[in-house]
Amino acid sequence: MEYISVSQAASLGVSAHRVHKLLEENRIKDVLRFVGAWMIPKDAEKSADVRRTGYKKGGGGHDGG
């Protein structure tokens, strides 16, 4: 199996910070860690982004104005 680094994974359209968060949350499968360096399978699937992207209009007591 071929592996890539965090910076190589980040060059695929996700920030290095986000890749680290996905690794910490065990959302990327079959990773290896050697002396503080993550090795990510080259064919690993991109995890779905489940972060919140704002607030819903009309909710949470915000009147928008």
The overall pTM is greater than 0.85: no
- Rounded-to-integer distance, Cα 19 and Cα 21, Å: 5
pLDDT at position 17, please?
A: 93
- pLDDT for 4-13, tens place per residue? 889 898 888 8
- pLDDT for 4-63, tens place per residue? 889 898 888 889 999 999 988 989 888 888 887 888 888 887 666 656 666 555 555 555
The region that residue 11 occupies, defined by phi over 0 for left and psi between -120 and 50 for alpha, beta otherwise, is: alpha
pLDDT at position 58, please?
A: 56
**Would you state the structure tokens that stand for residue 38, as one six-digit string?**
């993550």
